[in-house]
Structure 1
């Protein structure tokens, strides 16, 4: 398709009027490729990460079908790995579905008894689209609270995340409840062999779409500090005091570390820790406060790197170097959205150099390294090595001890051979879309599917 507006899909008149009223004009690559396949009724496997417009890619054609059919029966089930993502998807559906008179509900655990009763009543009164997490959905299915005979669409969002979280058995159990005659759509940020194998159990003769390739946005200034673990908190405090940031996300590797950082920062900064020990109400309040800027700094694990859409993030700090290079892309993707500028800082200790090189290999960029500020003198030193070049067991360089007394300068000075911080060259999609934009990883070339496309944004 060569046209660059939503009119090429011949959507239901009310749905198209809604898109026009909301100012959505230009579909993203995943939308241009996925919407026609879903409209045809084909099962689909799509590799596309958060920010590419994937939610609208499956919601718009489903809303069109429901509107054209004209009944109010239960039609679509969407399964998401986390409560936060389920809520976000439901919010997007409500915005788009308003114009065609379609209802939806988010079903998830972690709430109180009142929330559970509200969810059950909504299902009993009828809703066309249900967005659910696996655990709560199984409870409803086992209790006979959802009538499935009219179901036409099943959507699995962030399938790779669900498998990583151990939901594969739950999903297969859910599948056993569903009508065999249905359209199944599977979205995944990555497409490793385990996803391929899993998909064979739930889709039939699927089309496939791959959105290439994992890159960070052009507007992100990416920086690295070589720092030992005991000095990280001191460095973090100094960075946060250099500027009056309005929106910062700090990523740590574990829940316990998130809590530790929070105990330190709360003495001086407006901050909250976001983790699984909080109640659902507490988590929703924290995220609401962060979105409306009454909360400036959010600390969490990768639970907030996917599926959380917050505009205007100025700074992302990787307190721990991500284990998976894809996680780095997801984390950094929280900033510099919709053509805005942002900064991403990663702390690298003496054991994590190989992780840095894996990240650089994925994004095709050697990230600029900053001098440590006064008061942090003993730091690991990066031995130069270009991405993709293996130099010893670390896969691209090694550490040595050094004294480092230079002040950090986020305006561009680094200790990377005097070079200014470099940015990637990928440009995010325009904001005239139902979803914001970022980049995704190529699906691995495995399995046979009837339609194969590779799209580079």
Structure 2
């Protein structure tokens, strides 16, 4: 479907045209009319399918139709990176609409608090916030949400995983009961459905390709012992010289080691983790997008909600702790109907992790062993999993 076919305000259509959007994705085609009809919505779709635009575009149209100049929409997100990204998309899509927005999140310089507080009190059309930071503002007093017409929970599963459920419930209690509520999630475990039942009213449901990566991702798996990984990494990166690459690791301590090795091989790279100051993270991400360096080494702080165009390769230096995090990591590439490659390193302990990934992919993966050919020694083999033997309980014999 073409965006021009949707019942959107002409100013919003101008913004869409300026952003060079033409055809809707499936989630956009299904969600936008429902949001325009002011229905509550529970939507589940894989990462990289255009979920953000699926709620932002109709919300901008509704705000333009209403003609208000006060806070009407609250968007809750799990991370500051996602808050900033959505804020940037509002700025891009809403240029012709005249909609104001502000991202509210922790970290950064102290003056951010005052700027955020002013926007909450005096009003911006859209507030995008992490639950913890918004709660801190609310507890300091004078924050009112009586003009809120729409609440959006983006990456709802991630927010619950991060322990934000109590904060979200507190925030919701201070919102008008008569409102439109939209919940978007990459996965739909039972806890999400239970949570949705408590805050949505007769919601429409959309579910598309739950927990499966884009088909155009070339997924490659390599066996490697820990001491072989850095040398194997440099070998596998050589065909991607000058292209945009993200290397994920679950261990913050590994970021410096990877960066040091990449630098030794004259590759330009920077690292991002929760240990790094927010200002530094924002600069690194901005410079990466601008092409000032082409390799970003990160923890899972960047596995969701970061839209980077023309990302050619995602490397899992180690297997994510959860199979669904694997989907989110590799989902950074092959976005918007492009192609991409993912490389995942496996150790002898990762047999179960591979089985979990295969269950989500609904297919077996091909595991490659090339370290010996590279002079790095034989690749490890998976350890055979043995179920623990059942414990035997013996009754004590009674003394005669």
Q: TM-score, length-normalised on structure 1?
A: 0.79
Contact 2:44 2:210 in 1 (8 A): no
Aligned match of 1:376: 376
Does residue 61 of the first structure (1) align with residue 71 of the second (2)? no
Post-superposition Cα deviations, 1:13-39, rounded to whole Å, max 9, x if no partner, equal 211232233332221111121122222
CA–CA distance in structure 2, aligned partners of residues 230 and 21 of structure 1: 49
Post-superposition Cα deviations, 1:69-117, rounded to whole Å, max 9, x if no partner, equal 1120110000000000000011111111111111111111101112222
Aligned match of 1:316: 314
Contact 1:120 1:145 in 2 (8 A): no
Could you say what the CA RMSD is over the residues aligned between the two structures, in angstroms?
2.1
Contact 1:266 1:272 in 2 (8 A): no
Aligned match of 1:281: 279
Aligned match of 2:339: 341
Q: What number of residue pairs does the alignment pair up?
A: 384
Aligned match of 1:415: none
Does residue 27 of the first structure (1) align with residue 24 of the second (2)? yes
Query: Shift of the alpha carbon at 1:134?
Result: 0.8
Aligned match of 1:356: 354
Q: Choose from 329, 332, 349 the match for 2:330.
A: 332
Contact 2:104 2:133 in 1 (8 A): yes
CA–CA distance in structure 2, aligned partners of residues 202 and 243 of structure 1: 46
Post-superposition Cα deviations, 1:177-226, rounded to whole Å, max 9, x if no partner, equal 11111111111100101111122222222221111244333432221111
Contact 1:123 1:145 in 2 (8 A): no
Compare 162-171 and 265-274 and name the one that shifted more.
265-274
Query: 1:158-173 alignment to 2 at 5 Å?
Result: 158-173=155-170
CA–CA distance in structure 1, aligned partners of residues 156 and 309 of structure 2: 24
Does residue 202 of the first structure (1) align with residue 199 of the second (2)? yes
Query: Shift of the alpha carbon at 1:283?
Result: 0.4
Q: Which runs of 5+ in 1 are unaligned?
A: 384-390, 395-457
Rate the CA distance shift 1:196–1:340 in 2: closer, same or farther, 3 A.
Answer: closer
Query: Shift of the alpha carbon at 1:237?
Result: 2.7
SS at 1:272 equivalent: strand
Q: Which runs of 5+ in 2 are unaligned?
A: 388-400
CA–CA distance in structure 2, aligned partners of residues 393 and 58 of structure 1: 47
CA–CA distance in structure 1, aligned partners of residues 313 and 54 of structure 2: 29
Q: Choose from 4, 9, 14 the match for 2:6.
A: 9
Rate the CA distance shift 1:9–1:336 in 2: closer, same or farther, 3 A.
Answer: closer
Query: Shift of the alpha carbon at 1:241?
Result: 4.2
Post-superposition Cα deviations, 1:302-337, rounded to whole Å, max 9, x if no partner, equal 221111111112221111112322222222222233
More helix by share: 2
Q: Choose from 289, 292, 296 the match for 2:290.
A: 292
Aligned match of 1:150: 147
SS at 2:334 equivalent: coil
Post-superposition Cα deviations, 1:141-172, rounded to whole Å, max 9, x if no partner, equal 22235331111001010010001111111111
SS at 1:381 equivalent: coil
CA–CA distance in structure 1, aligned partners of residues 33 and 114 of structure 2: 38
Does residue 220 of the first structure (1) align with residue 217 of the second (2)? yes
Rate the CA distance shift 1:110–1:224 in 2: closer, same or farther, 3 A.
Answer: same
Contact 1:246 1:293 in 2 (8 A): no
